[in-house]
Amino acid sequence: MSTQSVPLVDPTASAAAEVWKRLRQHRPTTRRQLWRYMRVFFKLSVPNSRICPGHSSPMDYLWHTYNADFAVSPPANGDCLVWANRGGGKTQLAAAATVLEGLFKPACQTRMLAGSLDQAHRMYDYFAAFVQSGFEDCLDGRLLSQSCRFKNGATVEVLPQSAAAIRGRHIHKLRCDEMELLDDQMLAAAQFVTRSERGLHGAMEMFSTMHRPYGLMQRLVEQAERIGMPMFRWCVWEVIERCPPERSCSRCPLSEDCRGVARRADGYLAIDDCISQMRRSSRAGFEAEMLCLRPSLENAVFAEFDPTVHVAPVDYQSTRPLYRAIDFGFVNPFVCLWIQTDEEGRVFVIDEYVRRRKTIAEHAAYIKAHTPCAEAHVAGTFCDPAGAGRSDITGTAAVHELAAAGIRATWRKSRILEGIEKIRVALRNGDGTGHLIIAPRCARLIEALRCYHYPASHTGLTELPEKDGLYDHPIDALRYFFVNIARAAPPHKSRY
């Protein structure tokens, strides 16, 4: 008599699987629930402690982006900027946030964009790995190489690296990774694709480290601070593993930067990995990439410039001679600086004027109206030597047009490096002191001194900085002052 084996079904296991499935489908409603949900179902322990003053935790970002569409008092929009260290998990967290939208935000349309197509696919690869860890049954169809659709109508897609392909789309969420590498045209196109509808807030989320003091991320950070956009900033101490008591601070290479804060950390980044990264990188690179203190100045022309030293309130003084320095431009900006000097050799930049697409006559009218003394008492107006050449547009020279408006300008031909060296000496001379003071109202000049840089592919074969059309013009005006003032006749002392 033959017997047939019958597969046994464990009712306990079946019930547990059903409970697990229901728990997975239950939407977290509090920050604590979301943190536990990530730990249980994503196998991701999101660092939840703010270690450095003014910083955020990675969990702060995740809760912000997740809760923006569920909050009783939601924000006007969900835009945010994430400035985090290399290896700080920002790409992985953005991918996790995208999965959460697919699970709990029906019909949400999310797109991924990055400074390179490879980086965008990195975010999508993280996303795909999370989906394949137990959420496959939530998909409507297959998980494709660049897109997918959830059963609730939510969609996810990697955007192509083309401004033309980005324009015309209308989506709810756009996540842009490695902003520092994003093309300006693509950024301009991406800023207009999000919209809010059906209870979902339009959101453009931007992620990056800050590599350069003159890059896109620098401008975005300043913009976020100016317009009140939420910014989440964390560094290595928010994501490093907790330092065990058996490790000695006195023998740790990280001790000077750490100062014991890693004892309170709750992250995942191995301490020994951080030590290795610090040893094989430059100090400037480690500060920028891991500590998020400031961008590296390695490629900056004026690394000597320090706003805490060189920027201070300064106004016009009638007992000091007044000079003006001009760089001509139409599509590129026209720049005028008002500068004074004193008997101790100090140079004070008291005001600036930066405008595009205006005629010389319009510029001249503004300059005369905003010069704080009579035109006859201006000690000198120094300009770009190119202004003496005849313009193909107007048929006359810019300096002649200024003269017709009552502004007499002089110039001297010089090499770019000559003027740059004179500015450097003014910022900090051989004995470590400087004599250049700039008024806070000169925002464009201050930005230019911080951001004027050598080409990204700088090899040392040339010392000429980048002509980027943005930072070079205020610097050009400043160097015209320095190369001309040395040969200018001593001003007459007068009482005005």
Question: Taking residues 209-216, what's their average pLDDT?
Answer: 77
Helix (H) or strand (E) holding 82: strand 80-84
Q: Comparing 169 with 435, which gets the higher pLDDT?
A: 435
- Can you tell me the distance from the alpha carbon of 324 to that of 480, in angstroms, rounded to the nearest whole number? 10
CA atoms within 13 A on the CB side of 296: 17
| pLDDT at 451 (0 to 100) | 85
Domain annotation for the chain: domains and CATH numbers: 26-237 (3.40.50.300), 307-485 (3.30.420.280)
| pLDDT at 183 (0 to 100) | 81
Q: Comparing 16 with 149, which gets the higher pLDDT?
A: 149
- Can you tell me the distance from the alpha carbon of 238 to that of 61, in angstroms, rounded to the nearest whole number? 13
- Can you tell me the distance from the alpha carbon of 199 to that of 108, in angstroms, rounded to the nearest whole number? 10
| pLDDT at 2 (0 to 100) | 44
- Can you tell me the distance from the alpha carbon of 281 to that of 285, in angstroms, rounded to the nearest whole number? 6
- Answer for the pair 413, 487: CB distance below 8 angstroms, yes or no: no
| pLDDT at 489 (0 to 100) | 47
pLDDT digit string, tens, across residues 350-400: 999 999 999 999 999 999 999 999 999 999 999 999 888 776 555 689 999
- Can you tell me the distance from the alpha carbon of 298 to that of 191, in angstroms, rounded to the nearest whole number? 31
Lowest mean pLDDT among 30-39, 176-185, 208-217, 362-371: 208-217
| pLDDT at 496 (0 to 100) | 31
